Structure 1
Amino acid sequence: MNDALDQRALESVTTIGREFYKGAVFGIRTSDRPELLEDAYGQDVYQIILITEGSVILSDGDEKTALLPPQLACLSYANPMKKLEIAGAKGFSIFFIPKVINYGLFNSFPQAAGEGSGQDDALLAERLLIKPFKQGEISNPFHIAVNPALEERVTDMYRGLRDQFSLQPNEFWPCRGRSYFLELLMLLQNLYAFEGDTDLKLALPTGDELAEQAVRQMLLSYSDSRLKCSSLRGETGRFAFSARFRTAAGMPCKEYLKSIRLTVAANLMRNTMLPPTDIAERTGYADRARFERDFRKRFGKKPAEYRADFPNPYG
């Protein structure tokens, strides 16, 4: 854990192992309501809030804005933040510190990842996961309106995380819980990119609403092995859709969907100890052999060999 983190802030964002990994400390905590951590201001603490009912008031000087539900917000307690007033709102909160993503990588994080090696690329990928929480072009907190499909997807990830960390049903609870958390961070990163950030390995299509909508749907549904490009084109003809998507995204729709799935799979291989069979299923691969082939073609190694190149995510 971060020794410099104030003890009160640390306690408010941690989960303690009970029967399995008794006494072990994990820098992530869930809450079934939107709430703020008064003791965390100025600390290296981050928070995800989903507001499903009521409203949250954002104050920036004399200006006030109501975030009407459903709304998703990413907060950084380490940076200047607009004042938030939460009253009568329903939803949930996830609190975490960066090291929970991967303790090994964050223990020796350079100021800027280098280029050229798989580890360098992974360092950059892990840093990108917290970009929506860093104050920059988009103010703190970063927030977006949520459509029903996105709300359902985010809520499912939250429930998976919450149930594993609260119930701790078996020895796999930290790994399975963090896998839901990592998927949620990757989804937020891509949503953030649609809002104007472009520092991503996978180029996002711009200038074609049909292609943008198709990619948004991929980001929500990549875990469904039944998802096909044919289901993303609506009333547009197959050839017209294929041409428009390739022009906007720089690659065919099928390859783009595969890239999303393999990007998520690589993240889960680096930052969890989930078996490759579980990761294949979580990323929309019904066929384990095809997952292995695609992964090796993309990253030059089998999933287990790829994992061995990175530090133990639990430190």
Structure 2
Amino acid sequence: MSTYFTEGKIFYPGFQFPIHHTSANCFTDGANKRDHYKMIFVISGTGILTLNNHKQIIVAPSALCLNETDTFSLESEVSLQCTAIFFHPQIINQHFDFPVLRASDHQLSLNEIQDLYWLNPFLRKTNEFMGLLHLGPSNARRIHNIIDNIKNALDIQLDDDWPCRSRTYLIEMLFLLSRLLIIDEALESVELDKDPGDIKEIILYLYTNYMNKITIQELTDKFHINRTSLTERFRGITGHSVMEYLISLRLYLASKMLKETLLPISEIIERVGFSDITHFGRMFKKNFGYSPSEYRSIHCTML
């Protein structure tokens, strides 16, 4: 079996945390079933991959999401540069062993069904989607940045929060990949066919840059659209203003980090793009009915 865990050093020595990073030999373990999931990020180059007996052309930048049963072999490549994240799905939910993930929805709890969302790119395989997501430049940069953050958190192990910190970065990566899969299919219930313009690209930009300060002026300049047109078209498609949509996205991610990790609330606030802790607390309670600390005490699976 391949090594998919990182071992604790100064903090939690000997502890085997089920996530691992490598930039070496990303395509060498594809012949047999694995004891982990694997996301290969193709940084540059091209290649031809046989994935579950189907030929796939890989063009950078792209993300290849592989579950424990996927078989693959790299037939040829030109200047292919990759990095990979290995993880066991129990890092998302402690009950997620492989038989559970193969069960039908009616055999899962509500919490397990909700947590399955993070693993959609690894589980929802069809003839049209076999795990390969082609990435635009901004999403590729974001994925690369998250992988670097995972690597640094695992390698440096800065303090006793390093497992939670690594896990939140993984959640961010899985969130983005899951959203890209949905956007690729239909962007959930957002009816993009009603708008021939740049609204899809703006939504993708929000998902990629939610951790940064974003203004309407920035969006109008970047996407060459006037403020009135942006406001009307965005609300017409999503049902929300741009800022409402962005705040909902940030709060959703914060709620998942509060629920799934013990990372300090102050760090979560910064990670999801809020700069004012009072404003964050007020908006969080308005949306979820509890303060962030109350929400964590009720919903966190690690307490």
Please indicate the TM-score interval, normalised by the length of the shorter structure. Answer: 0.7 to 0.9
Partner Cα distance (2:52, 2:277) in 1: 54
Distance change in 2, residues 1:85/1:75 (3 Å): farther
The 5 A counterparts of 1:257-268 are 257-268=246-257
Q: What is the identity, as a one-letter code, of the residue corresponding to 1:245?
A: F
**TM-aligned CA deviation for residue 100 of structure 1:** 1.0
Taking structure 2 as the reference length, what is the TM-score of the superposition?
Answer: 0.86
User: Is contact 1:34–1:49 with CA below 8 Å preserved after alignment?
Assistant: no
Find the counterpart in structure 1 of residue 296 from structure 2. 307
Are 1:112 and 2:105 matched, yes or no? Answer: yes
User: Is contact 2:46–2:58 with CA below 8 Å preserved after alignment?
Assistant: yes
Secondary structure (helix, strand or coil) at the match of 2:143 reads helix
Find the counterpart in structure 1 of residue 122 from structure 2. 133
Are 1:53 and 2:44 matched, yes or no? Answer: yes
Find the counterpart in structure 2 of residue 94 from structure 1. 85
Distance change in 2, residues 1:220/1:170 (3 Å): same
**TM-aligned CA deviation for residue 223 of structure 1:** 0.2
Find the counterpart in structure 2 of residue 4 from structure 1. none
Q: Is the deviation greater in 185-194 or in 160-169? A: 160-169
Partner Cα distance (1:205, 1:183) in 2: 25
Q: What is the identity, as a one-letter code, of the residue corresponding to 1:73?
A: L
Partner Cα distance (1:61, 1:20) in 2: 40
Find the counterpart in structure 1 of residue 198 from structure 2. 210
Give per-residue Cα distances to partners, 1:133-177, cap 9 Å, x unaligned.
114336564223223222221111111110111222221211111
Find the counterpart in structure 2 of residue 280 from structure 1. 269
* Alignment match of 1:228 (pick from 215, 233, 237): 215
Find the counterpart in structure 1 of residue 150 from structure 2. 161
Q: What is the identity, as a one-letter code, of the residue corresponding to 1:125?
A: Q
Q: Is the deviation greater in 18-27 or in 304-313? A: 304-313
Partner Cα distance (1:180, 1:62) in 2: 32
Taking structure 1 as the reference length, what is the TM-score of the superposition?
Answer: 0.83
Secondary structure (helix, strand or coil) at the match of 2:198 reads helix
**TM-aligned CA deviation for residue 54 of structure 1:** 2.7
Distance change in 2, residues 1:267/1:60 (3 Å): closer
Find the counterpart in structure 2 of residue 31 from structure 1. 22
User: Is contact 2:50–2:73 with CA below 8 Å preserved after alignment?
Assistant: yes
Are 1:289 and 2:278 matched, yes or no? Answer: yes
Are 1:250 and 2:239 matched, yes or no? Answer: yes
Secondary structure (helix, strand or coil) at the match of 2:44 reads strand
Partner Cα distance (2:128, 2:17) in 1: 28
User: Is contact 2:46–2:60 with CA below 8 Å preserved after alignment?
Assistant: yes
Give per-residue Cα distances to partners, 1:55-88, cap 9 Å, x unaligned.
2312369864431212221111224x45444755
User: Is contact 2:121–2:177 with CA below 8 Å preserved after alignment?
Assistant: yes
Distance change in 2, residues 1:247/1:275 (3 Å): same
Distance change in 2, residues 1:138/1:187 (3 Å): farther
Distance change in 2, residues 1:244/1:113 (3 Å): farther
Secondary structure (helix, strand or coil) at the match of 1:129 reads helix
Secondary structure (helix, strand or coil) at the match of 1:92 reads strand
User: Is contact 2:216–2:227 with CA below 8 Å preserved after alignment?
Assistant: no
User: Is contact 1:206–1:212 with CA below 8 Å preserved after alignment?
Assistant: yes
- Residue segments in structure 1 that go unaligned for 5+ positions in a row: 1-7
Distance change in 2, residues 1:223/1:216 (3 Å): same
Find the counterpart in structure 2 of residue 5 from structure 1. none
- Residue segments in structure 2 that go unaligned for 5+ positions in a row: none
User: Is contact 1:133–1:140 with CA below 8 Å preserved after alignment?
Assistant: no
The 5 A counterparts of 1:153-192 are 153-192=142-181
**How many percent identity over aligned positions?**
26
**TM-aligned CA deviation for residue 197 of structure 1:** 6.0
Across the aligned residues of Structure 1 and Structure 2, the Cα RMSD in angstroms comes to 2.8
Find the counterpart in structure 1 of residue 113 from structure 2. 124
Q: What is the identity, as a one-letter code, of the residue corresponding to 1:218?
A: L
User: Is contact 2:31–2:72 with CA below 8 Å preserved after alignment?
Assistant: no
